[in-house]
Amino acid sequence: MSRTLVTGATGNIGRLTLQHLLKRRPASDLVGLARNPANGADLAAEGIEIRQGDYFDHDGMVRALRGIDNMMLVSATAFTDRNTQHRNAISAAGQAGVQHIVYMPIIRKEGSNFVLPQVTEQDMIAQEMIEASGLQFTTVRHPPFLESIEFYIGGNALETGVHAPVGTGKAAFASRSDLAEAHAVVLSEAGHENKTYSLYGDPAVSFADVAQILSDISGKPVPFVARSDEGYIAHLVAAGLPEPAAGFALAWVHGINAGEWDGKTGDLEKLLGRKPTTAAEFLDASYAAHPD
């Protein structure tokens, strides 16, 4: 039986991918990779082997990937040396005998000139390295996460409104859990090799739509508050976000307002075999559990 390894096993996407894989494969077939294996004690308790590995340690990655057939390469964190980390992981996979890599770049529309700092360029380089490696691969391209909406609009939205620079663009957000479940499908089934999927959620929503959804949830008007870029950053900083993080949020919002992630392929629904979680469903559950 083939063995499947998921990198970043103790992070959000990696952990969720392994949890979904457990529903489809025996724990003995699964391996998680973590810089600190102790943080994966919950996964180890389920019978998943947790190996130590760090993208910056090429030789250690080769050792960690021995005996692995399929690898989920969880993207390195933005604002780190992503190119070196991805290069090491891909090279190590080839040396260790991995047959198939699944990689999760951000969706980029054909012909788009939009650049998300520390994300789009490094994602494209990683894809090129994977394609040049000679290994089989599957590209599972991500839209923005539903979980990030609160990050984009700032805290206390039910009381102060949805603050964002003006724009009518929409994004087909998807939840981390749905994306991770799609990863698990690709990793546990044959027939996905050398394919690219764009895992849009459905329907796409704008920030004005988010304000309307929150109004419906709360039963009171939640306004959309159009801000200048400077005013938007000031709002997030006042809510407790460090200024560099606020600037990163602004870059995402610019992409959303430009319609960079408003596509509709049906790939996520096909892989899941069901409709993905909508923004309305996610926000209803999120704000009911953690009201402002």
For the entire predicted model, the pTM comes to 0.96
pLDDT at 10 over 60: yes
Is residue 185 helix, strand or coil?
Answer: helix
Question: Phi/psi of residue 281, each to 5°?
Answer: -65, -45
pLDDT at residue 154, as a whole number: 85
Share of residues in the chain with pLDDT > 90 (%): 95
pLDDT band at 291 (very low <50, low <70, confident <90, very high): low
Mean per-residue pLDDT, 62-74: 98
User: Looking at the predicted structure, is the pLDDT value of residue 210 above 90?
Assistant: yes
The residue that leads in pLDDT, 173 or 167, is 173
Kindly report the number of other CB atoms within 10 A of residue 276's CB atom.
25
Q: Give per-residue pLDDT as tens, 180-192.
A: 999 999 999 999 9
Look at domain 4-141 and name its CATH class.
alpha beta
Task: Say which CATH architecture domain 148-170+202-262+273-289 belongs to.
Answer: Alpha-Beta Complex (3.90)
- The pLDDT score that the predictor gives to residue 289 is 57
Q: What is the DSSP string of 74-136?
A: PPPPTTS-HHHHHHHHHHHHHHHT--EEEE-PBP--TT-----TTTHHHHHHHHHHHHHTT-E
For range 223-238, the mean pLDDT: 96
Backbone angles phi, psi at 181, to 5 degrees: -65, -40
User: Per-residue confidence at 156, pLDDT binned at 50, 70, 90?
Assistant: confident
The pLDDT value given to residue 288: 73
The whole-number pLDDT of residue 290 equals: 56
Phi-psi group of 8: left, alpha or beta (phi > 0 → left; psi -120 to 50 → alpha; rest → beta): left
**In the chain, where does the domain assigned CATH 3.90.25.10 lie?**
148-170+202-262+273-289
pLDDT digits (tens, 9 = 90+) for 189-209: 999 999 999 999 999 999 999
Q: For the residues 210-239, what does the mean pLDDT come to? A: 95
